[in-house]
Structure 1
Amino acid sequence: MWETENHSTIRLDEVDLKIIRQLQSNARITNKDLAAQLNLTTTPIYERVKRLEKMGVINSYVALINPVKVGKGLMALCMVRLEKHTKDKLAAFEKHVANIPEVVECYHLAGQYDYHLKILVRDMNTFQDFIVNKLSTNENLANVQSSFVMSKITDTTAIPMLRNS
């Protein structure tokens, strides 16, 4: 059993977990090929995938793009601290960063910093422009600490699908 965001329970059996693992590895796999890999027929696989989609376990199918190949060779991780933490100030900052295309991930944190941003840009000049002309235009910004990724050690979008975790 798995608990959802609204605390309802979803029952996933081993076949569901295998389907999810396969789709995370290759979202373009056909139901026929998926059925063959799991030693099932196509119809139950189709029905299970549709059920997983309907339950919100599967949110979407995407193509993962190599950022370097499309001119986004610099990845920066920015830790952001805000001046004020009122509900409206937090919402305004979140709306602000959600509208900046260079921000590909944004997390609201507990701890020393308020937000963690993942930024993809072409180069250091583009990053400077991002900081000066986009991020720092939010008047509630108190501090930004940036680090630059030198190399990726692990990079996956797959969520571990272990039976008892």
Structure 2
Amino acid sequence: MDKIDKSILKQLQINAKQNIKEIAGKVGLSVTPTYERVKKLEQAKIIKSYVALLDREVIGKKFVAYCQITLIRHHKGLINDFKTYTLNFPEIMECHHISGNFDFLLKIVVDDITQYQQFITDKLSLLDSISTINSSFVMESVKDTTVYEL
């Protein structure tokens, strides 16, 4: 991946709706080589997908919580079951198996604290392998980006 590929990726991260001609003009190439580079980046799986990023405030998803989950013990089966379980809930935006004092870090996004409490009580806490759930609530998002520095 050279400097031009990185520039193309930066442009796509900023606005994936740009057409190839617009990207080509910004990176200093003609349309055909730009198109070919984008295709190669897709084939190499560097570009995973193209998405529309929604404004969560506008769609009513105003409550963000980070949950630190500790399992009752470190056992491959329990870990895999937990991973699979979390895939069933659209409220869980991110799930990370982490090192340190906790086993998993979840990012949960819902409408409000009531919906969060219902999620914890009616869904997440039903899994017997969970020992503790510690929650932190986002008061303000100072930086929230999807653009990687290349």
| TM-score bin (small chain) | over 0.9
Structure 2 residue 96 is the aligned partner of structure 1 residue 107: yes
2:5 is aligned with 1:22: no
Q: Match of 2:129, as an amino acid?
A: N
Post-superposition CA distance 1:122-142 (Å, at most 9, x none): 111101100000100100000
- Tell me how far 1:158 sits from its aligned partner: 1.1
Q: Which residue of 1 aligns with 2:135?
A: 146
TM normalised by structure 1 equals: 0.89
Match for residue 83 of structure 2 among 94, 105, 115: 94
Structure 2: how far apart are the matches of 1:50 and 1:109?
34
Hey, what's the Cα distance between the residues in 1 that align with 2:136 and 2:99? 19
List gaps (5 residues or longer) in structure 1.
1-11
**What is the number of equivalent residue pairs in this alignment?**
150
Alignment of 1:27-106 (within 5 A): 27-106=16-95
Tell which has more relative contact order, 1 or 2 (C-alpha 8 A, sep 6+). Answer: 2
State which drifts further: 49-58 or 62-71.
62-71
Q: In the alignment, does 2:95 pair up with 1:122?
A: no
Taking structure 2 as the reference length, what is the TM-score of the superposition? 0.98
1:80, distance to aligned residue in structure 2 (A): 0.5
Provide the alpha-carbon RMSD of the alignment.
Answer: 0.7
Structure 1 residue runs of 4+, over 6 Å off?
none
Give, in angstroms, the shift of residue 97 of structure 1.
0.9
